Structure 1
């Protein structure tokens, strides 16, 4: 049996609905977001879990909590799983950013791996900090299932790192709607993507709430 990591993006927030940039802003889940967390718990509670890791932000902790409580398992919070820091763009829409920081926005859109939002983080910075968490998991859990609850950009960057995709293309190559589950098995030949952005665990009315 090999190690399998389940990457879960947090449930719905007001920012995921509006499309505004939300990195270090500590938003709570919407009412529907809490239902998404509960749906994940009900669908996956019978798997034999070895550990639960999460970003320390409220929206990820709230998403991990139903499963953790059901299992009686602690949530291991890691700063390396935080969302990208958007700097001066926090709380703004793409339209506002384009108007106020046009040149930097264009550079970021072209290559977010090596260009940062104004005052924020480059994709490669997120790859470095999140890789330390993945290394910790691999060292401590050689087999079994581990849950990692994180954020849209951070999970996409971790997947790029694991699968050999250019970090600068993370926004162009991987779609990751709220409350989606992505599964990677760590085989003798390296990371193997088994499931990408699955939302089949959500009740039907929640599946239609795509957001960004």
Structure 2
């Protein structure tokens, strides 16, 4: 039986616009973020989703609720798909971080294999926890359709694991727009990427470096 994963990032948040690093901290969805989640909900409303898994962070959980709409689908919280823990950087603007931690900040965006967290997690640690999550739920819900609501780095980590992408190419395109849709079909050891970060349901997309 084939298990199908529908994977998305939460909608746009206030801190995304302010270019503040969120990580395990949180900020509210913007009006655009709410509308992005509504648009995704309409896009997949005819797909029979069996389970929704979400990061515990408010921006992800709220996105999951909006996408679900009035459908009777269980929402399950799983800590393994929360965003990377960025330690001291959380809540700081990218300009502030660049001024204080220039080398670490450069590596974060340009050489993730060299990035050493300041009180948080490495990219490898995130990939380990999300890969454990994927392996568990695909076996537990074999043959089902599962919506996963997560974050940029967690989503990139899932796809890095599925596509066997080295950390050096972690930030390679596509860009993960808020509520963009990724679809992966899994049968036994075979993992087929049907769609990766498609944002055709979102108006006025633009890339903002923010997680």
Normalising by structure 1, we get a TM-score of 0.90
Partners in 1 of 2:108 and 2:37 — Cα distance? 32
Match of 1:185 in 2: 185
Inter-partner Cα distance in structure 2 for 1:16 and 1:86: 15
Q: Does structure 2 retain, via aligned residues, the 8 Å contact 1:4–1:184?
A: yes
The match for 1:48 is: 48
Contact persistence 1:116–1:123 (CA under 8 A): no
Deviations, residues 153-177 of structure 1 (Å, cap 9, x unaligned): 1100110011010134312344111
How many pairs does the alignment contain?
208
Deviation at 1:123, TM superposition (A): 0.5
Question: What's the CA shift string for 1:74-122, capped at 9, x where partnerless?
Answer: 2110000100111111122332212101232234344324523311110
Unaligned runs of 5+ in 1: none
Q: Distance in 2 between matches of 1:154 and 1:198?
A: 17
Rate the CA distance shift 1:69–1:208 in 2: closer, same or farther, 3 A.
closer
Q: How does 1:1-212 map to 2 (within 5 A)?
A: 1-113=1-113, 115-187=115-187, 190-202=190-202, 207-212=203-208
CA distance in 1, matches of 2:78, 2:190: 24
Say which SS state the counterpart of residue 71 (structure 1) adopts.
coil
* TM-score, normalised relative to structure 2: 0.90
Offset of residue 133 of structure 1: 1.4
Mean CA deviation greater in 30-39 or 64-73: 64-73
Q: For the Cα contact (< 8 Å) 2:53–2:77, is it kept in 1? A: yes
Give the deviation of 1:128 after TM superposition. Answer: 1.1
Separation in 2 of the partners of 1:116 and 1:42? 40
Structure 2: runs of 5 or more not aligned? none
Task: State whether residues 153 and 171 of structure 1, in contact with CA within 8 Å, keep that contact through their aligned partners in structure 2.
Answer: no
Contact 2:34 2:66 in 1 (8 A): no
Change (3 A) 1:156 1:201: same
Q: Which has the higher helix share?
A: 1
Taking only aligned residues, the RMSD between alpha carbons, in angstroms, comes to: 1.8
Q: C-alpha separation between the residues in 2 aligned to 1:191 and 1:6?
A: 13
Structure 1 runs of 4+ with >4 Å offset: none
